Amino acid sequence: MDILFGTDITLPFEWLRIGLAVLGTAACAYYDLFNNKNVPERLLQAFLGLSLLVCIVAYDPIATPYGLVAGAILFIGNYILYKTGYLGGADVPILTAIALLLPSQPTALLLDKTTAWATFPFIIHVLTAAFLTFMLHLLAKTVPYAIKSLKPGAIKAEQWFGAFAIVISYGILAFVMSSMPLLGGAYIIFLALLAAVSVYFVLFRTAINDSMIEWVPAKKVQVEDIIAPDKMDAQTVKKYAIGRLVDEAEHKRLQQVKEKIPVYSGLLPFVPHLLLGLIISLLFGNILFVLAGIGGPVGF
């Protein structure tokens, strides 16, 4: 069980692994920010290739198989999400590279070594922190659109039901956690804020989605664009077999569409948040455990 959760894994050449993970992710984040969310294929291939090489050359009887298995699972799962339009193409090799290099929590930069026992596969720590910063960024960007959308009937009944379900679920969770001596009040407050943000995204889902969509002529749609088929005429979507991710085949079919296409041109870049998540996790471990005040001796 300890091996499953990464607590018995040592990382040979830990500093090299950390340096390559940070530099590779930072380089990809730069292009995601300043190159219209277009990370060069050669950079992604080099990052993934070097990560695989380090994983194999810096052999450890536990760390190497663990990293290879974690990398393979992440690649397959994320590739499916990418092909269905729910994950960027660059995110797949970046997440896989991090999983190969750092299958467990590195301790070289960890500020509090006593939290090293509370560890899962390191990539889970990275994704947890990355999603938290991403949601905060998305919240800050979309609040003005949400306020403008406040009109009678703008929020549908199912959205109110979803928000109500979140509130009830949080109430039950808070009641259970309040009896746990390891969890402080700060963690309960954090969960309350997380529940409030979740309610916001449920209630204003339509306004948030609309704020990211740009209607463009079919000729301006590019391969790898993410579009919103639910905003289009249902007959058109069925006739041209339109999905969320525009691949080469769909791009050709879209050239025959006369109406404008709703493209998610306002999507926030996610790779910079992966970089933030990586740095946060290197310094603090799993940010949720930190907020909960959980700690203990290594190997506990």
Inside any domain, residue 195: yes
Examine the domain organization and report whether 111 and 143 are in the same domain: no
Inside any domain, residue 141: yes
What total of structural domains would you count in the chain?
A: 3
Nearest Cα neighbor of 4 from 65, 90, 76, 86 is 65
Examine the domain organization and report whether 190 and 42 are in the same domain: no
Domain harbouring 125, CATH code: 1.20.120
The rounded distance, in Å, linking the Cα atoms of 49 and 247 is 25
Token pair 């040979």: residue: 12
Written as tens digits, the pLDDT of the chain (300 aa) is 444 444 557 788 999 999 999 999 999 999 999 988 889 999 999 999 999 999 888 878 888 888 888 888 888 888 888 887 777 888 999 999 999 999 888 988 988 776 665 566 889 899 989 999 999 999 999 999 888 888 887 888 888 998 899 889 888 877 776 666 555 566 677 778 888 888 998 899 888 888 899 999 999 999 888 999 989 999 999 988 898 889 899 999 999 998 999 999 888 999 999 999 999 999 998 887 777 665 543 333
Examine the domain organization and report whether 71 and 170 are in the same domain: no
pLDDT of amino acid 180? 63
Q: Which domain holds residue 189?
A: 136-209
Q: What angle do CA 19, 99, 89 make, to 5 degrees?
A: 100
pLDDT of amino acid 4? 47
- Three-class DSSP labels, the chain: CCCCCCCCCCCCCHHHHHHHHHHHHHHHHHHHHHCCCCCCHHHHHHHHHHHHHHHHHCCCCCHHHHHHHHHHHHHHHHHHHHHCCCCCCCHHHHHHHHHHHCCCCCCCCCCCHHHCCCCCCHHHHHHHHHHHHHHHHHHHHHHHHHHHCCCCCCCCHHHHHHHHHHHHHHHHHHHHHCCCCCCCHHHHHHHHHHHHHHHHHHHCHHHHHHHHCEEECHHHCCCCCEECHHHCCHHHHHHCCCCCECCHHHHHHHCCCCCCEEECCCCCCCHHHHHHHHHHHHHHCCHHHHHHCCCCCCCC
Cβ neighbours around 127 below 10 Å, total: 20
Examine the domain organization and report whether 57 and 97 are in the same domain: yes
pLDDT of amino acid 205? 87
Examine the domain organization and report whether 250 and 283 are in the same domain: no
Examine the domain organization and report whether 107 and 155 are in the same domain: no
pLDDT of amino acid 300? 31
Inside any domain, residue 278: yes
Examine the domain organization and report whether 146 and 201 are in the same domain: yes
* Last-in-domain residue among 191, 209, 227: 209
Inside any domain, residue 35: yes
